[in-house]
Amino acid sequence: MISERVFGKTKNGEEVLAFTFEDGNRSATVLNRGGIIQSIVVPDKNGNPTDVILGYNDMAGYENNGGFLGALIGRFGNRIGEGRLTIDGKEYALYCNDRGNHLHGGKSGFDQKIWAHRIEGDKLILSVVSPDGEENYPGTLKVEVTYTFQGGELKIEYRAVSDKKTAINLTNHAYFNVNGEGDGSILDNVLWIDCDEITPTNATMIPVGGYRKVAGTPFDFNAPKEIGRDIGADDIDLKQGNGYDHCHVLKNKCGEYVKYAVVFSKKTGIKMSCYTDMPAVQFYAGNGMNMDGKTAHYGQRAGFCLETQAIPNNVNVEEYAARGSSIFDAGQEYHFTAAYKFEA
């Protein structure tokens, strides 16, 4: 069952709705502003309801604090080096909002939009139209994102199509803590990622080509380990990101739906299994967090993100595009899925 209520209003007076999925003793709430995942409440090992999503209780929190907490990201999730996008020989200069680079769609991304909504049975479907030239991207882009929450699994299905050749790379920026959103630290969350390589970056966190094997490095999560075990290691890529903020290239082929990560809390017994058919995931350990959230202050590493996507900056690096290009022809459908399943 999906219920609907008014969550609040934006600074501009726009009404924001909250849609709550009820699934036995579990629930998930999604906002039509930015497609934000506002909460996921699941029972812990003792049956206590536990919210595993970091966020805010009102619109002021989402509007006044950075971090993209819980939001849909587009047109292009993650970074494009120097905001340079070239399609068929024509260069489009994108807005640079992160150390001289284009991040998460630019100055006004999908996270800030009020999305149209409809409910079809057990599905919440959000849609938006990004006009030709918005944030200087070519093409009118029609986007539809479908949420379901059944059996403790939140599934997000992304679809988009443009009337011109363009770049598309959608993701969700939920911050998780399987200890509970107010616990304060994810360093003891135990993480497994099915990945053999990351994309090393330059000093501004842009992957500029090549891969780095994770074996024998702090980035190796092929054997489950606490997130905090190696986060302070003497490693150039860790230092540049001030911790984990890197693209993990998954073992699946682009379009092949697989389980790519599992996160477990020894405190609550909650396990989150993660699935996608995208070729990569950005693992961000909340290194820059500093805001007051729903029930607590969120300091550094209070939450983590697993942002499924194409490899960042693949529009400028051919070897990355070969693992899944973000350039789509006019009329070519963008269609990918991500899911998070919870149990204790």
pLDDT single digits (tens) 183-218: 999 999 999 999 999 999 999 999 999 999 999 999
Q: Give buried/exposed letters for 215-238 (b at 16+ CB in 10 A, else e).
A: eeebbbbeeeeebeebbeeeeebb
Token duo for residue 328: 């789509």
Q: What is the pLDDT of residues 299-337, one digit of tens each?
A: 999 999 999 999 999 999 999 999 999 999 999 999 999
Q: What is the DSSP letter of 83?
A: G
CA 109 to chain centre: 13
**335: closest CA among 93, 151, 161, 125?**
161
Domain positions in the chain are 2-343
pTM: 0.97
pLDDT of residue 98: 87
Q: What are the angstrom distances between the C-alpha of 270 and each of 122, 182, 229, 283?
A: 24, 15, 20, 19
Strand partners, 149: 154
| 121 Cβ contact partners less than 8 Å away, ≥ 6 residues apart | none
pLDDT of residue 5: 98
Residue 246 is a catalytic residue: no
Cβ contact 239:230 at 8 Å: no
Residue tagged active-site, from 135, 153, 181, 307: 307
**Rg of the chain on CA atoms, in Å:** 19
Residue 173 is a catalytic residue: yes
pLDDT of residue 187: 98
End-to-end CA distance of the chain: 22
Residue tagged active-site, from 104, 173, 246, 248: 173
pLDDT of residue 67: 84
Residues in the chain with pLDDT values less than 70? none
**76: closest CA among 100, 107, 36?**
107
Token duo for residue 260: 């790519």
Pairing of strands 225-226, 2-9: unpaired
What class does CATH assign to 2-343? mainly beta
- Region of 269 (left: φ > 0; alpha: ψ -120 to 50; beta: rest) is left
pLDDT of residue 265: 98
